[in-house]
Amino acid sequence: MFLNRSQILSIFIAQLCFPLTYAKPKKVEGCPNLGDLESQNEVSAAQLNSLILCFCEELENSEAEVSFLYGSNVTHLEKAGDAIKKANLKLTKINMQHMEFPATGMPDFVKFAPNLRDLNIRECANQEEVKISPTTFDGLEGSLKNLSIYSCNIPIIPPSISKLVNLEQLDLGKNKIEKIPKEPIETLQKLKYLDLSGNFISKADDDSLGSLKNLETLVIGEHNYFNETLEAEIGKLKGLKTLDMSRCDGIFEPPMSLFNEIPQLEVLKLSGCSIGGLEPGAFAVLKNLEQLDLRVNLIENVSAFSFDGLEKLKKLSIAGNYIHEINDGLWEGLKSVEELDIGWNEIKQVPEGAFKSIGSTLKTLNLRHNPVVSMNNTGAGNLATLTLSECGLTSLNSDLFKEYKKLESLEVSHCNVSKVEPNAFENQKDTLKSLKIMKNKITSLPNTVLNDLPLLEELDTSENPFQCDSELTNFISAVEQRHKTAANEKKEFLFSNANATICDRPYKLHGKLLMELDTSTLEVGNLIEILMNIGI
């Protein structure tokens, strides 16, 4: 039995979980390089069965990386380590996913990689806890900088990591840890990134997190319970820049008392919590905050001046809540915001001047999945990107978008749009590069959609019920001409999802691709309607 090249690649790529870099491919006997497989047209089943379920890759400075596939075990690690050693390379990176460890637990990694710098263990195949012995990391005290033991059912923070005094990144997410102890955390003085999300933490010992003076990023949400002990320890992290408490239990309002202790924060994520509303000045102490994520909470009322004081904030998301209207003064205090996401709410009307106070800086606005029916005179004249998918619009015309003369990307998808006026985008003729109007009720399009937009690089009109008659001829010809022009001038132009841009009517053309039609045979639309009305 022989497998062709594409079959082999699909098998291995589907199982890989860590991207590899092919800077300096080199053969390691007994541990193949993916590039070797790409150069072979056929690989026999015998060759496939003889592989040790790993890929080896040479990095810079005679270093090597090995990534293990599903079904691998410690025996494969031993073989890979030997193969790399024989190739006179230093194994500095090990990536494992779905590896099955023996009942004795993880091995002493120094035996296979005395220079190990990065160890990524994710989603262990074992159904029970994977044991980590006191000697697992012996000998790696000086080299190991990045360690991930993700989703391996470990119930505690491994005491043996206390020896890893040069560790800079630690990920222990999706395990069964219930407590943050002082030991072994306190010895990790060089730690900059810590992920404890997805555990069952409800307690933190005094000076456990607080001892990490150089910690810059803490990810501690998803099922962990935010209480006084956790708040006290996070509040001691005076060097913290990013705090991610997404999906953390026990958060019903912004923890202002915690913010008072860590005003230096630059990124705050509180998505998926149970926050019900925002009061004035809720984040005012966070003067250095640049990103705030409040998605998927229970927010219904947002008071005026809720974001007052956030003068450096550039990115704000309050999507996935129950906000009905944009009140006066809602954006007061925001002096630098560039991206605003208020999608998946219940906003029907965008009042005039809704974004006037932030209009000078606002570049990206996302209003997806709101029943919006108009967008006139909002004060957001500097927008470069506007998303209105799943909205309440029924037609597109120049008045709707007349104030957005700097727009480069526009999406109005999955709405109720049935008509696009010939001059709909005349105010964007010098700027628009991407237009997505798929999944609407559009039956025909004027050729001006393309002819009036010379800078357009991407157009998506898929999944509309097109009536393929003579009125559509000019649009189809315009798409063909744009392809030719782009090719001749070596410019970008993509008619996205062309395979889903098909005819709905007449019946004889139902399901046919627009771009495969012979336009000379298209019939007059009125004749089609007459025939349909009389049952032909």
Give 387's contacts (C-beta < 8 A, 6+ positions apart). 343, 365, 366, 367, 368, 411
Q: Which residue has the higher pLDDT, 45 or 309?
A: 309
Helix (H) or strand (E) run with residue 76 in it: helix 74-86
Find where tokens 């006037």 sit: 356
- Quick one: pLDDT band at residue 55, thresholds 50, 70, 90? confident
Q: Which residue has the higher pLDDT, 528 or 229?
A: 229
Domains of the chain with CATH codes: 384-536 (3.80.10.10)
Angstrom distance (rounded) from CA 34 to CA 36: 5
Contact between 503 and 517 under an 8 Å Cβ cutoff? The reply is yes
Find where tokens 């157009």 sit: 459
Contact between 237 and 256 under an 8 Å Cβ cutoff? The reply is no
Lowest mean pLDDT among 77-86, 222-231, 264-273: 77-86
- Maximum CA pair distance of the chain? 86
Q: Write out pLDDT tens, residues 85-143.
A: 888 888 899 998 888 888 888 999 998 889 999 999 999 888 888 899 899 999 999 89
**Which DSSP letter does residue 521 get?**
G
Q: Output the pTM of the full model.
A: 0.83
